[in-house]
Amino acid sequence: MDWTALTVSLRLAAFTCLLLLPVGLWLGRTLATTRFRGKPLCEALVALPLVMPPTVLGFYLMQAFGAEAPFGGLWSRLFGSGLNFTFTGILLASLVANLPFAVQPIQRAFETVPANLREAAWCSGLSPWQTFLRIELPLVWPGIISALALTFAHTLGEFGVILMVGGAIDGETRTLAIAIYDRVQAFDEAGAGIMSAMLLLVSFLTIGVVYGLAGRRRWRRA
């Protein structure tokens, strides 16, 4: 078992969930409750990482993070270091790759909140922020848990994007998924099997959480 790679994967997954949670809440609620001309385009951009090959997405992110690119060059001037082949780089790449997993479950949850419920809360004297905290947030909590579970599990298993942007630097960018690939290349099937079984267990638990929350929600409606 490669504990260093597991530590990198867990740290990456934790930071990805932590940073995407406020983004998912804001963007998911905005897409669910407002109508504007560019809404279909925004939803398409959010969903793009789902259908885009990971190596292609990773290649474009690697190019964007380069010192000669506008974003990568600006980052280098501000912080004195590049993004490619660093933990910060794979974290930013993970945020992009996991955006649909964080936004879409929360958006679907907000779409189930009746609009007249918000209007009734406003008529009762609650501010929009109080309505969000006291009325909407408890109702969309299953969607938030689903988003966090899917984001966490997908980050642990992400391979193509992380490999393209970060390579396989031990203790920095070498995640558990990359470690499994390295073990297979070294004909260490036993080591690869142990690490694969761990990812399989995490995936199974994640699906159990998502379907469990969905079933609980249907039971409450019934």
- Can you tell me whether residue 11 is helix, strand or coil? helix
| Phi, psi at 194, each rounded to 5° | -65, -45
The band of 97, judged by pLDDT with boundaries at 50, 70 and 90, is very high
Q: How many domains does the chain have?
A: 1
Query: In this predicted model, what pLDDT tens digit does every residue of 143-201 receive, in sequence order?
Result: 888 898 889 888 988 888 999 998 888 888 888 889 898 888 888 888 888 888 888 88
How far apart, in whole angstroms, are the C-alpha atoms of residue 84 and residue 62? 6
Residue type, 110: F
- Both structure tokens of 49: 């990482």
Find the domain containing 108 and state its range: 3-221
* pTM, entire model: 0.86
DSSP string computed for 42-63:
HHHHHHHHHHS-HHHHHHHHHH
Q: Are 157 and 203 in contact (CB under 8 A)?
A: yes
pLDDT of 219 above 60: no
- Can you tell me whether residue 67 is helix, strand or coil? coil
Give the chain's mean pLDDT: 86
Which pLDDT score is estimated for 134? Answer: 84
Query: In this predicted model, what pLDDT tens digit does every residue of 123-148 receive, in sequence order?
Result: 887 888 888 888 888 888 888 888 98
Sequence-distant contacts of 33-41: CB under 8 A, at least 24 apart: 33/110, 33/115, 33/118
Segment 35-46 shows an average pLDDT of 89
Segment 21-47 shows an average pLDDT of 90
| Phi, psi at 175, each rounded to 5° | -90, 175
Residue 157 CB partners (closer than 8 Å, separation 6+): 177, 199, 203
How far apart, in whole angstroms, are the C-alpha atoms of residue 176 and residue 9? 6
Residue 64 sits in a domain whose CATH number is 1.10.3720.10
pLDDT of 70 above 80: yes
How far apart, in whole angstroms, are the C-alpha atoms of residue 186 and residue 13? 26
Instruction: Report how far apart, in Å, the C-alpha atoms of 154 and of each of 42, 64, 150, 181 are.
Output: 22, 23, 6, 17
Residue that is written with structure tokens 């922020």 in the block: 129
